[in-house]
Structure 1
Amino acid sequence: MPNLSDNLYAKQQSLRQWLFDHALPLWWTTGGDLEKGGFYEKINLDGTPCDVDRRTRVAARQVFSYALASRMGYAGPTDPAIDQGLNWLSGPARNKETGMLYATLKPDGTVVRGEFDFYDHAFAMLAYASAYRVRPEDKALERAAVAIRDRIVADFSHPERGFEEANPRTLPLKANPHMHMFEASLAWMEAGGDDKWREIAAMIADLCVEKFLHPETGSLREFFDGDWNPLEGEMGRIIEPGHQFEWAWLFLRWADKTGNDAYRKTAQRLIDIAETAGTDPIRDVTFNELWDDFTPKDAKARLWPQTERMKAYTALAHAAPTPEEKHAAIAKAIEASAGLEKYLSTEIVGLYRDRMKENGEFEIEPAPASTLYHIICAIDEVSSLDV
């Protein structure tokens, strides 16, 4: 019977082969729009692109993906793909008067949704950090990220802490964009950014612990009123297991940077909830939503929570204080990788399924470009493991 090391190596090799030989070439040669610029939002399962409205976050995520591919040793064309995304962010997607970004555009660059979107701007800052890691001589990338960051701090800071969704205010306030602002701040810390990134990361980490997490169960709430109280009614009761894993991955990175074990304990609790209550042992996939009493709300399973499960257990393995705990975390990372592989079985290799039904079958629909960011990050994380 294969041992843990053999199983890990086999998963690492099969996932990297799928990524390098099929996914990355496809999502550039078919997914990049060389006529109008930017990236197609989706690719049909027959391999043709969907020329529909384009969210700015997709261009940002593709910059992240191809910059990370370069750091992973991918030998294909990463620079043209990075440039494609950066040119979209600095061109059609940018409001030339404010310097901020439009959220959604038509393929020809016409603005569909132009109001501030915190989530999209967090991904733009992450994209600039990712590009800067492979182009450290290009200081314009850092200036672009800092300009967005400082504008958000000046115009969208919450009176207490954290950030608003709009100015004037709109409700609910949301945990999810803060998670990606946390991610972008950590990325800029790793890229050599200024001290403000660390200040923002610290503020968001503590906001999450003190306001986003349920004080009794340790579960992560998603939606809040203007004073950071959980929203009343059903929205205030929603838990997303994928976000539990994702926040855990970020907290473990933050604990490593700060040396504060309290964040490791927070991460462990988030992982335990997402695994025991939010992962279906029959399908062996993490599903979409729970209620705050840990009963299923939406037992369908999108692809992206599987990648966050991989990332959380990888980080847990790196942080493990004993060989036994490390090996247990690696075994769960392998298990989560097997869950991801179910989504990668498509007629055209390099595409993927996005939504699994409760019965284990998949919705027949185009593959979303935005998901490549999740997949490549998870594969990179699992690739860092060794027994």
Structure 2
Amino acid sequence: MRDPHQPGGAAWRQAEAQRLLEFASRSVLPDGGFGYLDSQGTPDSTRRELWITARMTHVFGLAALAGHPGARDHAAHGVRALIGLFHDPANGGWVESIDSDGTALEVSKTFYGHCFVLLAASTAYAARLSGAEDLLHRAQRVIERHFWDESHGLGVESFSREWTLCEDYRGANSNMHAVEAFTACSDATGEPLWRQRAMSIAERIVGGFTRDHGWRMPEHFSADWSPLLEYNAKQPADKFRPYGTTVGHWLEWSRLLVGLHERGGPAWLLDAATTLFDESVRVGWAADGAPGFVYTLDWEDAVVVAERMHWVQAEAVLAADALYRAAEHEEAAELAEQWWRFLADHFVDTAGGSWHHELGSDLGVSTTVWPGKPDVYHAYQAVVFPDLPLAPAAATALARRGGVA
């Protein structure tokens, strides 16, 4: 039995959740939205990113449902920014970034950003926040009208501001986050169509492309969904489209597949979740001889970017927890205990707050890919989800526990 006060234990995680929220509260910008935090917790007020504001709205929405003081006000602050500042009233949808005056800086419309808007809206709706239902319906309409491609059963990547030009690139990452957002939406609203779409994505990305490539997940595709295995070979450490295969996504998908299985999905989901987890451990952990999961591998399992990302470690402990609970994967439970200690020893920044977002292979702080400590989305979920059922989504589970839904 794990000591509740040791890393990964219930009391430790509850204290860490509070510590993360205190750090994250610094990202609240008085004139709207949330700022990207640097390593000391100072927000960038000159450029506000849609994905940061949406993710922090989701986090504070979960925290509100869990009863954390002040969290409801922060979540409502995020909802207002999504309804107002980031929304494009002329064309619909949400722009990717704005400056301190609310002027759009990056005007493309991305599936990635819109999925996080849907996730934030679903969480806010479960928390019964003012404006959340309207935000949720807007996000559903935009995704259905522009991003969802029924002919492929997947989402397209991005459009110009006026929706007139569609990028000829398709991505697995945005579709992975669509699974998260679509299942949260389905759980919050009771609409099965969104869960069915999430299942369609899993079937194509994991049951199709990933299985066909020996469980090395392709991340980048052409407009007709042909894998582009050499995409960004000359820019291997790209923030959102790195070259090769991203081990952390195998772990994140493992958790999401377990969730779909728990919602009544077929048996292959649990088998695939186990395979992705086991393969990530076999080829991704200490792939260069040092402890930790490396960021990316090439198609021969050689290390491309060796940095250790906090979000990968967060997804690793969550995948291990999910597989232990759903499939009695004993090795996963043992690894989770080791990984929590590793995380606490190296990623948790007890002096500066939050978690270091990136470490080098020497386990020193690195900024090769991600400078600063942008948000607490992955870290907060890592310390909260083990206390919740594997399904429904966290917001719906917390709402039911608190008698809201």
**What range is the shorter-chain TM-score in?**
0.7 to 0.9
Structure 1 residues 316 and 217, CA gap change in structure 2 (3 angstroms)? same
Q: Assess if the C-alpha contact under 8 Å between 2:170 and 2:225 holds in 1.
A: yes
**Aligned equivalents of 1:187 and 1:271: distance in 2?**
23
Q: CA deviation at 1:310?
A: 1.1
Q: CA deviation at 1:126?
A: 0.2
Q: In the alignment, what sits opposite 1:375?
A: 379
Identity of aligned residues (%): 23
Q: Does 1:356 align with 2:359?
A: yes
Match of 2:255 among 249, 252, 255: 249
Task: Say what the alpha-carbon RMSD is for the aligned residues.
Answer: 2.3
Q: Assess if the C-alpha contact under 8 Å between 1:211 and 1:228 holds in 2.
A: no
Q: CA deviation at 1:16?
A: 2.1
**Aligned equivalents of 2:98 and 2:306: distance in 1?**
32
Q: In the alignment, what sits opposite 1:267?
A: 273
Cα displacement string for residues 324-356 of structure 1 (whole angstroms, at most 9, x for unaligned residues): x3x4322222222223222112423x3331111
Structure 1 residues 367 and 234, CA gap change in structure 2 (3 angstroms)? closer
Q: Assess if the C-alpha contact under 8 Å between 1:242 and 1:288 holds in 2.
A: yes
What residue ranges of structure 2 are gaps of 5+ in the alignment?
160-164, 234-242, 390-405
Q: CA deviation at 1:44?
A: 3.9
Q: Does 1:80 align with 2:73?
A: yes
Q: CA deviation at 1:216?
A: 4.7
Q: In the alignment, what sits opposite 1:57?
A: 51
Residues 172-321 of structure 1 aligned to structure 2 (within 5 Å): 172-235=169-232, 238-280=244-286, 283-320=290-327
Q: CA deviation at 1:10?
A: 5.0
**Aligned equivalents of 1:8 and 1:217: distance in 2?**
40
Match of 1:33 among 20, 29, 37: 29
Q: In the alignment, what sits opposite 1:120?
A: 113
Q: Assess if the C-alpha contact under 8 Å between 1:42 and 1:366 holds in 2.
A: no
Q: In the alignment, what sits opposite 1:165?
A: 157
Q: CA deviation at 1:210?
A: 4.3
Q: In the alignment, what sits opposite 1:48?
A: 42
Structure 1 residues 49 and 165, CA gap change in structure 2 (3 angstroms)? closer
The letter of the residue matching 2:17 is L
Structure 1 residues 339 and 108, CA gap change in structure 2 (3 angstroms)? farther
Aligned residue for 1:280, secondary structure, equals: coil
Q: Assess if the C-alpha contact under 8 Å between 1:27 and 1:369 holds in 2.
A: no
Cα displacement string for residues 150-184 of structure 1 (whole angstroms, at most 9, x for unaligned residues): 32222234343312223433232100111111101
Question: Which one has the bigger helix percentage?
Answer: 1
Q: Assess if the C-alpha contact under 8 Å between 1:41 and 1:52 holds in 2.
A: no
Q: CA deviation at 1:248?
A: 0.8
Q: CA deviation at 1:384?
A: 4.6
Q: In the alignment, what sits opposite 2:135?
A: 144
Residues 97-136 of structure 1 aligned to structure 2 (within 5 Å): 97-135=90-128
Cα displacement string for residues 49-73 of structure 1 (whole angstroms, at most 9, x for unaligned residues): 3333111111111111112123334
Aligned residue for 2:316, secondary structure, equals: helix
Q: Which moved more, 1:272-281 or 1:260-269?
A: 272-281
The letter of the residue matching 1:15 is R
Structure 1 residues 134 and 148, CA gap change in structure 2 (3 angstroms)? closer
Structure 1 residues 98 and 145, CA gap change in structure 2 (3 angstroms)? farther
**Aligned equivalents of 2:108 and 2:313: distance in 1?**
31
Q: In the alignment, what sits opposite 2:334?
A: 331
Q: Give the TM-score of the pair, scaled to structure 1.
A: 0.88
**Aligned equivalents of 2:185 and 2:359: distance in 1?**
34
What residue ranges of structure 1 are gaps of 5+ in the alignment?
none
